[in-house]
Amino acid sequence: MQKMIMIIGAGILQLPAIKIAKEMGLYTVVTDYNKNAIGLKYADYPIIMSTRDVDGTVRVAKEFNKVRKIDGVITVGTDASLTVAAVQHALDLPGNRIDVAEATTNKIKMRKRLKEHSIPQPEFYSCWSYDDVQEASNKLGFPFVIKPADNMGARGVMKIEKSEVIRFAYERAKSASPRGEIIAESFMDGPELSIDALVWKGKIYITGVADRIIEFPPYFVETGHIMPTNLPIEQVKNALKVFKNAVRALGIEIGAAKGDIKVTSEGAKVGEIASRLSGGFMSAYTYPYSTGVNLIRAAINIALGLPPGDLTEKFHRVSVERAIIPGSGTVKRIEGVEDALSINGVKNVFVTCNIGDTVHIPTSNVEKCGNVIAVADTREEALHSANLGVKTVRIVLSDEGELNDGLLRKNALLKLSGICSVCRNCDGNECAGWLPGIGSKGDGSAFRRNITVLKNYGILSSSLTKIDNINTGTDLFGIPLDVPVVVAPISNMKRNFQSIFDEREYNKIVLKGAKKAGTIASISQMEYSMDEAVDYIIDPLKEIYGHGIPFFNPAFGETTTLKNIEKCFELGVKLCGLTIDLKSTDMDSLIDDKWLARIIRESPLPLIVKGIINPKDAVKLVDAGVKGVVFSNRGGRILQSYPSGLETMQKIIDKIKTETLVIVDGGFRSGEDIFKGIALGADLVMIGRPIFIAAAGSEIDGVSFRLNRIKEEFREVMRVTGCKILSEISKDKIIKF
């Protein structure tokens, strides 16, 4: 009688197993919670059931088994080992013990069992609360890594390099854990191997060793792998020894095993071991392409209680998988798939996004937009074909439908009539002396100086550098940003802009528009008001779950300022700002470094300070404990003889850069300007007036449109200059005229 295999999961990674099972003459019963999962279309008996629902899957398996006998259970590329083991146990089928499956799906249980057997691995601590993570950080030191104990695909995983990031990383990992259980472990530096194996009658058969490509720090996003590894043979042998010992220590006696092994300066260490075949297209595609071995067929045989069959490698080729990461925006068109498939060596192109989807720079392995797989006789040829395939697939992004620069400017001109000329070249000439208003002090020379200083630098291209998967992203105390741009705070709508927005309305627009574009906005307490109420800040932040940077004026007093910061902390805000560059004679409080130090010391959130124009002030503030400094001449609105924020930053940056977040503001308009600011040492750049004008032009969509346009310009500059990540943007990429 024709045998029946139960396959847990029906996604793109399980589809090859379903097809191969049918080629083997097996009936397939397949489960997945997604009724539209591609594998269900190929299943003989599709069942809607979550791969994580252990009890539900056991129940439907028992019911099905009464009608048609199930002869084996398997999964590929997803963390459903516990579900598989439970069904195997319930139906008395070949498989590992339940406790083995638990140890290979829960990172804490895995680490504890490996520790009992003295398997090399990082130091680790189980954490349930924020205090637990804080205590673990004291023991581990920086950097360390935080992970949900019971999830996969790098969801919620993050490298922590300073204390200000811990709360954000903790909340992110906590939300990614189904049970809320977290593990903190020491960071392991070095290359990483992905290893697949089959286990039959106690013997471990290695079925693939690949180099993993991990990018987009502080997150751990696998952007591809190369089969076979190119590491020295002795390092590979050491990694395989550690892997096999770990498999035995965990009690995996039958089926499949996959491991992520870090090759550190202290030797190989276990990153993770699972009792299943790997995902990431390795077991179903790159290993068979590289060796001619049908690994999934062998795994299905074992699941049925049969020997794996012939595992002899038929040939030795190189196969490469590379991720498709287009950037951030809304998917408008998908082009070039057929062209990519026509490239010599390209075997597969998978696109996992759809037209209309909103995509961002990934922070986990489930946020990529597709994959290209190529094979060749040499590593160089395979990499070339895969990278060319990624470049050929064009996922065209459009941020706001029919919105364009012309329409945005037209709408802004109508809204800002008599307030702002919406100049095509926003250089401060037209609005010089417009105070109160959008202009600058006196003849506008301080405003124009911001523009002039930036124009004094040119950008050097690099025609000989080949790059792919450009990462324009960064993080702000752990908050992922798709581009190193923060919307600058603008307030006093009634005084400066004839109430075309009220404070609350404008704050909502910029907060939501910035988040939509994958970055973050600052909003500010009104400086010329004695009203201590800040509902116009708190309410918009509440609507967006704290995704913003509120700036407060400490001249209202220590108690009031700390109370406002505490309110923001309760909303989930991750950092606050203090505006100290403007003193009002209407206020009694004096602002000095000692007085500020008390606020900084007692604040539940890290604080950054805006408006620094004197290098000595920057040093005092850093000594007082601020975590970030915004260098800004306030758009030339205080004194017309102010230097630019960029000039001040360059005078002091070497003295404060190591531990302090450096933000520069003033005159930044384009992606090229952003590049110059980063090259000169800033971590982030603030943009104010262009975003205000965009908000006037089309509110939330206008803000998002302008930020996305700047982001794409910035990406293009990185491409032309040969910079793949922000840390590669350096002063030697620019030239002073």
Q: Looking at the predicted structure, is the pLDDT value of residue 378 above 70?
A: yes
The two tokens of residue 401 are: 């439908």
Helix, strand, coil % in the chain, rounded to nearest 5: 40, 25, 40
Rounded mean pLDDT, 439-443 = 75
Q: Are residues 325 and 359 in the same domain?
A: yes
The two tokens of residue 395 are: 């996922």
Q: Looking at the predicted structure, is the pLDDT value of residue 583 above 60?
A: no
Rounded mean pLDDT, 617-638 = 84
Task: Name the residue with tokens 């070095």.
Answer: 190
Q: Are residues 562 and 510 in the same domain?
A: yes
Looking at the chain, the number of H-run helices and the number of E-run strands are: 23, 31
> Which range, 422-436, 513-527, 653-667, has the best average confidence (pLDDT)?
513-527
Q: Are residues 534 and 552 in the same domain?
A: yes
Q: What is the pLDDT of residues 159-187, one digit of tens each?
A: 999 898 999 999 999 999 988 999 999 99
Q: Looking at the predicted structure, is the pLDDT value of residue 606 above 60?
A: yes
Q: Residue 615 class from Cβ within 10 Å (0-12 exposed, 13-18 middle, 19+ buried)?
A: middle
The two tokens of residue 205 are: 């058969």
Give 411-416's long-range contacts (Cβ < 8 A, gap of 24+). 411/696, 411/697, 411/698, 411/702, 412/693, 412/694, 412/696, 412/697, 412/702, 415/500, 415/696, 415/697, 416/497, 416/500, 416/693, 416/696
Q: CA triplet 438, 661, 579: central angle to 5 degrees?
A: 40
pTM of the model: 0.85
Q: What is the pLDDT of residues 307-349, one digit of tens each?
A: 999 999 999 999 999 999 988 888 989 999 999 999 999 999 9
Q: Looking at the predicted structure, is the pLDDT value of residue 400 above 70?
A: no
Rounded mean pLDDT, 192-197 = 97
pLDDT, greater one: 244 or 331: 244
Q: Are residues 547 and 559 in the same domain?
A: yes
Q: Are residues 573 and 656 in the same domain?
A: yes
Residue 588 in any domain: the answer is: yes
Give the CATH number for residue 236.
Answer: 3.30.470.20
Q: Are residues 643 and 709 in the same domain?
A: yes
Q: What is the pLDDT of residues 22-56, one digit of tens each?
A: 999 999 999 999 999 999 999 999 999 999 899 99
Residue 537 near residue 548 (C-beta atoms within 8 A): no
Q: Are residues 69 and 141 in the same domain?
A: no
Q: Looking at the predicted structure, is the pLDDT value of residue 587 above 60?
A: no
Q: Are residues 479 and 582 in the same domain?
A: yes
Q: Looking at the predicted structure, is the pLDDT value of residue 69 above 80?
A: yes
Q: Looking at the predicted structure, is the pLDDT value of residue 723 above 80?
A: yes
SS3 assignment for 300-326? HHHHCCCCCCCCCCCCCCEEEEEEECC
Q: Residue 610: name the closest of 536, 695, 677, 688 by CA.
A: 688
Residue 582: band (very low, low, confident or very high) from pLDDT cuts 50, 70, 90: low
The two tokens of residue 462 are: 């690099």
Q: What is the tally of structural domains in the chain?
A: 5
**Of 303, 329, 353, which residue sits at a domain end?**
303
Give the CATH number for residue 140.
Answer: 3.30.1490.20
* Average predicted confidence (pLDDT) for the chain: 91
Residue 438 near residue 715 (C-beta atoms within 8 A): no
Give the CATH number for residue 357.
Answer: 3.90.600.10
The Cα–Cα gap between 720 and 470 comes to: 11
Residue 190 near residue 132 (C-beta atoms within 8 A): no
Q: What does 219-272 look like in DSSP terms, one character per residue?
A: S-EEEEEEES--S-HHHHHHHHHHHHHHHHHHT--SEEEEEEEEEETTEEEEEE
Rounded mean pLDDT, 363-388 = 95
Q: Are residues 38 and 147 in the same domain?
A: no
Q: Cα 218 vs. chain centroid, distance in angstroms?
A: 8
The Cα–Cα gap between 280 and 296 comes to: 14
DSSP 8-state assignment for residue 398: -
For residue 148, whether the previous peptide bond is cis, meaning omega lies within 30 degrees of 0, is no
Query: What φ, ψ does residue 715 adopt, rounded to 5°?
Result: -60, -40
Q: How many Cα atoms are found within 13 Å in the side-chain-facing hemisphere of 507?
A: 28
Rounded mean pLDDT, 231-247 = 98
Residue 433 in any domain: the answer is: no
Q: Looking at the predicted structure, is the pLDDT value of residue 202 above 90?
A: no
Give the CATH number for residue 12.
Answer: 3.40.50.20
Q: What is the pLDDT of residues 448-476, one digit of tens each?
A: 888 899 999 999 998 777 777 789 999 99
Q: What is the pLDDT of residues 119-137, one digit of tens each?
A: 999 999 999 999 999 999 9
3-state DSSP assignment of residue 139: helix
Q: Looking at the predicted structure, is the pLDDT value of residue 532 above 80?
A: no
Give the CATH number for residue 586.
Answer: 3.20.20.70
Q: What is the pLDDT of residues 140-150, one digit of tens each?
A: 999 999 999 99
β-pairing verdict for 576-579 and 549-552:
parallel
Residue 408 in any domain: the answer is: no
* Residue 303, C-beta contacts closer than 8 angstroms, at least 6 positions apart: 5, 72, 73, 74, 93, 94, 95, 255
Is residue 514 within a helix (H) or strand (E), and if so which, with residue range?
Answer: helix 503-516
Residue 607 near residue 576 (C-beta atoms within 8 A): yes
* Residue 79, C-beta contacts closer than 8 angstroms, at least 6 positions apart: 105, 151, 152, 274, 276
**Of 398, 430, 450, which residue sits at a domain end?**
398
Residue 555 in any domain: the answer is: yes
Number of other residues whose CB lies within 10 A of the CB of residue 203: 9
At residue 584, the pLDDT reads 47
At residue 589, the pLDDT reads 44
Residue 495: band (very low, low, confident or very high) from pLDDT cuts 50, 70, 90: confident
- CA torsion sign for 263, 266, 272, 273 is positive
At residue 316, the pLDDT reads 96
Q: Are residues 560 and 627 in the same domain?
A: yes
Number of other residues whose CB lies within 10 A of the CB of residue 6: 29
Residue 417 in any domain: the answer is: no
The Cα–Cα gap between 616 and 727 comes to: 27
Q: Residue 696: name the closest of 528, 499, 534, 525 by CA.
A: 499
Residue 431 in any domain: the answer is: no
* Residue 332, C-beta contacts closer than 8 angstroms, at least 6 positions apart: 355, 396, 397, 398
Q: Cα 6 vs. chain centroid, distance in angstroms?
A: 35
Q: Are residues 152 and 235 in the same domain?
A: no
Residue 594: band (very low, low, confident or very high) from pLDDT cuts 50, 70, 90: low
Rounded mean pLDDT, 402-423 = 85
Task: Name the residue with tokens 């590329």.
Answer: 77
Q: Are residues 667 and 573 in the same domain?
A: yes
The two tokens of residue 383 are: 């990499």
Q: Residue 395: name the closest of 338, 330, 470, 346 by CA.
A: 330
3-state DSSP assignment of residue 602: helix
Q: What does 125-136 look like in DSSP terms, one character per residue?
A: EEESSHHHHHHH
Rounded mean pLDDT, 214-222 = 93
497 lies in which domain range? 465-736
Residue 424 in any domain: the answer is: no
The Cα–Cα gap between 170 and 405 comes to: 40
Q: What is the pLDDT of residues 511-522, one digit of tens each?
A: 999 999 999 999
β-pairing verdict for 520-524 and 485-487:
parallel
At residue 531, the pLDDT reads 57
Q: Looking at the predicted structure, is the pLDDT value of residue 441 above 90?
A: no
**Of 150, 167, 187, which residue sits at a domain end?**
187
β-pairing verdict for 628-631 and 607-612:
parallel
Residue 608 in any domain: the answer is: yes
At residue 588, the pLDDT reads 42
Number of other residues whose CB lies within 10 A of the CB of residue 199: 21
